[in-house]
Amino acid sequence: MTSVQTTGDKNENDNEAAVAAYLLQHPDFLVRHGEVLAKLHIPHGVGGAVSLIEHQVAVLREQLGIERGRLNHLVARARDYDRLSGKLHEITLELIKSPDIKQARHVLETALCEDFNADAVALKLFSVEPDQHAADPLVNAFVDFIDRDRCVCGPLLSPQSEVLFGDAAATIHSAALIPIKTQDKTGVLAIGSSNPKRFTQETGTDLFERLGAIVSAKLVDLAHRRDS
């Protein structure tokens, strides 16, 4: 055996002794660091190791429970998305049959309140002409929203909530604001909720943006019918 091998073996033994000493001085180390315990390999039948194996199994079961919880959450979200996609299809069919904007508003209010758990719904349109902006309180309230292409979710400022929901503004604590675009107007479809956590920055907006595109197309269609 060379001196290099002897030195290496001694260092390894010293390291193992240091690890063993540390674990003896801190017997709760593996409890506090379950991720380390989960990766240890301890064969069954090793004397005095049964309790450690049992604890390792318990840690793995806990980790499995957490992963199952995450999976169940994802499955629930997928099912909810699928359900709402079906409702969006129904809204689309009803909008196609709507002969005027009054009926289109009724379809949106009814469907969004019943199927999307909205407490208030508002569809507001305003001119895209810059010289008309200053005189329009609706435009002033949404001046930062006019050119957006994406839905915004979260709490509303008081002027925005009041101009959208009127007397019900005080009860609305979160909302989804969906941009609406037509040839000569722009606007917002607002879905309000009394639950402050119903619409947040983390809320998925894909379905809302699809709804905005559908409503915009319907309004363009109604404008063409009116002008023809």
Q: Given this model, what pLDDT does residue 129 score?
A: 63
Residue 90 domain-assigned (yes or no): no
Residue 203 domain-assigned (yes or no): yes
Residue 26 domain-assigned (yes or no): no
Residue 157's domain spans which residues?
99-227
Rounded CA-CA distance 40/25 in Å is 19
Residue 66 domain-assigned (yes or no): no
pLDDT digits (tens, 9 = 90+) for 75-126: 877 888 888 888 999 999 999 999 998 999 999 999 999 888 899 999 988 7
Rounded CA-CA distance 100/118 in Å is 23
Q: Which residues contact 118 (CB under 8 A, 6 or more apart)?
A: 112, 191, 192, 193
The number of domains in the chain is 1
Residue type for 36, please?
Answer: V
Q: Given this model, what pLDDT does residue 204 score?
A: 85
**Alpha helices (H) along 98-205:** 101-115, 137-141, 158-165
Q: Given this model, what pLDDT does residue 211 score?
A: 94
Residue 80 domain-assigned (yes or no): no
Mean pLDDT estimate for the chain: 81
Q: Given this model, what pLDDT does residue 4 score?
A: 44
Three-state DSSP at 6 gives: helix
> Phi first, then psi: what are they for 157, rounded to 5°?
-70, 150
Residue 49 domain-assigned (yes or no): no
Q: Which residues of the chain have pLDDT under 70?
A: 1-11, 37-38, 40-52, 128-141, 143-144, 146, 228
In a 10 Å sphere around its CB, with 0-12 CB exposed, 13-18 middle and 19+ buried, how is residue 211 labelled? buried
> Phi first, then psi: what are they for 188, rounded to 5°?
-145, 135
Residue 31 domain-assigned (yes or no): no
In a 10 Å sphere around its CB, with 0-12 CB exposed, 13-18 middle and 19+ buried, how is residue 186 labelled? buried
Q: Given this model, what pLDDT does residue 196 score?
A: 92
Q: Given this model, what pLDDT does residue 137 score?
A: 65
Residue 53 domain-assigned (yes or no): no
Q: Given this model, what pLDDT does residue 58 score?
A: 79
CATH number of the domain to which 114 belongs = 3.30.450.40
